[in-house]
Structure 1
């Protein structure tokens, strides 16, 4: 029987009296993965931060933690700091906020090496080895803003694990990763357990939970509603919510806005791109790409991490200048009628401004009635009280849903969605996507959705642009367009 490496005794997290986490005893055994799945906003990430001692100061935390033979009061946030990176490590949900934008990747990973010094050759070599193990040998001199979302996630993983901590807490490790990179990361997590490490993983990806094996907890409304071996819980769930969760994969959706076949291109052109080329250094992302997005059309952009999906979206939006070619926008896209949903929603909200203030600016600018906001919040399952918080005080899934609500307020003509539901559990992803796509269909709004999930692409889009196929040797991304139906 595997020895218990980490025990959490009755953890509770409150905010002004409201109970955000209420979880009974949890034991994480060395060599046996424990995975937490469940509802977005149910407290999964808060639980992880309560264990680490990194919850915001305004949250009240109670409970106890036992690490080996030592006990800690979870309310004492400083008590575990000496163990960070050495015995206890957390890979946070948002790589954009975990990495220092002013430091090169190699230096950030090297800082986590025990005994690190700026002149330590060994630390740099350890960093190079960690990056190479994750397929990032050429990324050491890059800055975080030069990385794709999936690459940033892997860099953050390298920086988290290079210190050799035996207890590893991983929060949504697979978001932004293509299927190949996901398998590589799953191998690394399994390798950590096989070496006697303890692993607590928080994820919305049921494929990862099954891949890791071990035990699973299912959370909803701040507490655990089901627990047991992964095979037992996911193959024969006992709780109604778990059954709903397991049955909510995009491949099973049957929603009113879904189309059996792609319609003929009849809408007016909104974005016309001709001969687009873009490269970063010696890496050509795409060349001679031509694309027209018409009103009401639904496009998905697919391909491996780092192939240029986000860059293409930004070029089409006019946020990034192409190396060659031109992009033209129709007058219908003026005055806020083109909206982007970011892969890291925290990057699109002012960090020190309450969410209600940020959304109120949109209401005022576009003369949107407050009732419209309340209706959309209800449709995606967000309480109005969430608007009183700062971005750091809500989960990534809640912030992602609020970003979708905010984008709908100006009644856009085109939405560019970059992994727009990657922080959401399967049930919440289905209801939120239903709300978004119903809004788009009602307004004949065009969609460009960047995603690694082929099942999701098939559900929301009519046309697929596969940049990965071009990167493998085809002459033009235009030739890699196909119907998802």
Structure 2
């Protein structure tokens, strides 16, 4: 499928001709596109459809076992797609990738500001003081003025995403490939990153964006292509594709936006049981108060949404409820008679929860053996989560972020927890898979009487899925307790 967005090839910043990826069970049909100065293209589509692999093939960073075919023309230079090393000299100043996983892009031993300074100095060629001043401006523009001294491990997922964005874009590359650049960000931060992305085409560069967020595609405008099973099923101007999709899959994708979901049945009345209770919790980090005097109870089978801006303490609250961190004040009471194994967390960034050195099959086998879980429990859940068993023989870093996120959900559900803290559990999933996965999670929570606290930056998702919502961000958490869904989300 050709996405010819300009006619004269000589005018193109990026021309991709019959790019295909094969190997290890992966097959992406030949894909072509042309991006001229000022143009932008957004790739939408199902998780695992090959969007990120297309980006990696262009950059020359495909996982082992995958082979790219085709030709690339980058600012007038010709490259064989299969010769990955040939494009390394372009990284940073001509061709930049904003990666899907910030943890893969950041040095865990360097402070946030130092990583951005390094890009400005050694990629953009600025003097030391110029690089330092530019880095401070970049971080301030992204709402990270006070985060420059922190290590990546001390940042929330959304904050790490913004630091990676600043470091990757510091070199002023003419061609930017952004892979899920707004994952884990609240609406305000998302819109700020979209505005920064738009600077590249506005300044005469070209932008290729990969996202599951239809609103991001809508705000970026330009052209949109929808991929499924390695093939482009629809393409055209953003307004046309997003508002009047022609393909069956395109219409399904647009209909799966969270604002269009049907709410699940309300929580049935089953007595006054509690899986976890917090009493008068207060917590501060780095001199900043995250929350104070917070009290809540979560019943068996209840789904409680938690919202608030990036870095407001949502993940920290989950760690306190799970016993992974201790609050400055207050106490947590967990369901008696349950081991710590009954209180589980779905991490915002699944790579942090999987050993990168073992196949998923080995990691899953270790879990089953250690906890005496029957193997027969695996296949039905994999089917319901849309996971292909061929993926089991790959390393965690060799599958898409969305597929790894579903493996994280699989692993947690096999442990049959009584309480689950789900930290942005579907941020890497396309709208259709997100809707199906969260519907399954809600169904299993009701069936197994597992209390769930669900973190999301999507107010429509929380309104449609959760029984009530806790909002953080102003030191005084607000918790709705009404059972009327019209009043679930507190702004």
**Residue 478 of structure 1: CA displacement?**
4.8
Say if 2:258 is the partner of 1:250.
yes
Aligned 1:246-395 pairs, distance under 5 A: 246-254=254-262, 258-260=264-266, 266-334=271-339, 336-395=341-400
**Residue 316 of structure 1: CA displacement?**
0.7
* RMSD after superposition: 1.9
- Alignment-derived partner of residue 488 in structure 2: none
Say if 2:110 is the partner of 1:103.
yes
- Alignment-derived partner of residue 426 in structure 1: 431
- Alignment-derived partner of residue 466 in structure 2: 461
1:202 to 196, 203, 210: 210
CA contact (8 A) 2:274 2:335 kept: yes
Distance 1:61 1:413 in 2: 45
Change over 3 Å in CA distance of 1:451–1:265 after alignment to 2 = farther
Say if 2:403 is the partner of 1:398.
yes
- Alignment-derived partner of residue 437 in structure 1: 442
Say if 2:195 is the partner of 1:190.
no
Distance 2:365 2:208 in 1: 38
SS at match of 1:333: coil
SS at match of 2:181: coil
Q: Deviations over 1:119-145 (max 9, x none)?
A: 822221121121122121111111111
- Alignment-derived partner of residue 47 in structure 2: 40
1:176 to 184, 196, 207: 184
Say if 2:81 is the partner of 1:61.
no
Distance 1:175 1:316 in 2: 24
- Alignment-derived partner of residue 477 in structure 1: 477
Q: Deviations over 1:265-303 (max 9, x none)?
A: 834222121121111122100111111222122111100
Change over 3 Å in CA distance of 1:269–1:479 after alignment to 2 = closer
- Alignment-derived partner of residue 227 in structure 1: 235
CA contact (8 A) 1:86 1:114 kept: no
Distance 2:483 2:70 in 1: 53
CA contact (8 A) 2:302 2:446 kept: no
Distance 2:99 2:294 in 1: 36
CA contact (8 A) 2:13 2:76 kept: no
CA contact (8 A) 2:303 2:442 kept: no
SS at match of 1:274: strand
CA contact (8 A) 1:301 1:449 kept: yes
Q: Higher mean Cα deviation, 66-75 or 432-441?
A: 432-441
Change over 3 Å in CA distance of 1:361–1:331 after alignment to 2 = farther
Q: Deviations over 1:85-122 (max 9, x none)?
A: 00000000011221111100111011111546998222
**Residue 264 of structure 1: CA displacement?**
5.4
Distance 1:413 1:173 in 2: 33
Distance 1:20 1:484 in 2: 47
Change over 3 Å in CA distance of 1:481–1:8 after alignment to 2 = farther
Distance 1:452 1:424 in 2: 14
Say if 2:95 is the partner of 1:82.
no
Q: Higher mean Cα deviation, 434-443 or 344-353?
A: 434-443
Unaligned segments of structure 2, at least 5 residues: 486-491
Change over 3 Å in CA distance of 1:483–1:172 after alignment to 2 = farther
Q: Deviations over 1:324-345 (max 9, x none)?
A: 1111222343152222111101
**Residue 192 of structure 1: CA displacement?**
2.0
**Residue 179 of structure 1: CA displacement?**
0.7
Distance 1:118 1:107 in 2: 14
Distance 1:87 1:119 in 2: 20
Distance 1:46 1:400 in 2: 17
Distance 1:160 1:81 in 2: 14
Change over 3 Å in CA distance of 1:103–1:406 after alignment to 2 = same
SS at match of 1:177: coil
Task: Count residues with an aligned counterpart.
Answer: 476
Distance 1:100 1:69 in 2: 32
Distance 1:250 1:47 in 2: 27
Aligned 1:134-145 pairs, distance under 5 A: 134-145=142-153
Q: Higher mean Cα deviation, 137-146 or 418-427?
A: 137-146
Change over 3 Å in CA distance of 1:484–1:103 after alignment to 2 = farther
Deviating runs (4+, > 6 A) in structure 1? 116-119
**Residue 372 of structure 1: CA displacement?**
1.4
SS at match of 2:184: coil
Distance 2:90 2:276 in 1: 52
TM-score (norm 2): 0.93
- Alignment-derived partner of residue 212 in structure 1: 220
CA contact (8 A) 1:213 1:230 kept: yes
CA contact (8 A) 2:418 2:450 kept: yes
Distance 2:120 2:113 in 1: 11
